[in-house]
């Protein structure tokens, strides 16, 4: 499992997928159902809080 430095508070969808073992498409589905949340960057990329890994 890839290590993520403690100072990084947000994860990309790829990082979240690698850490959780869930497919990117599954994470997008969970977000569409309101089970997890993300914020969008200026470039419209999703960023997930590290706490999302606990869900």
Provide CB contacts within 8 A for 10, sequence distance 6+. Answer: 39, 47, 48, 49, 50
Q: Is residue 2 part of a domain?
A: no
Q: Which helix (H) or strand (E) holds 31?
A: helix 24-32
Q: Is residue 25 part of a domain?
A: yes
Per-residue model confidence (pLDDT) at position 43: 96
Q: How many domains does the chain have?
A: 1
Per-residue model confidence (pLDDT) at position 35: 95
Per-residue model confidence (pLDDT) at position 5: 58
Per-residue model confidence (pLDDT) at position 1: 60
- CATH number of the CATH domain containing 43: 1.10.1660.10
Return averaged pLDDT per consecutive 10 residues of the chain, 55 residues in all. 67 96 97 96 95 85
Per-residue model confidence (pLDDT) at position 55: 75
């Amino acid at each position: 499992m890839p290590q993520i430095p403690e100072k990084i508070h947000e994860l990309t969808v790829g990082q979240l997928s690698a850490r959780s073992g869930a497919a990117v498409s599954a994470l997008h589905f969970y977000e569409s159902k309101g089970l997890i949340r993300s914020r969008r960057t200026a470039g419209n990329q999703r960023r997930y809080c590290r706490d999302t890994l606990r869900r």
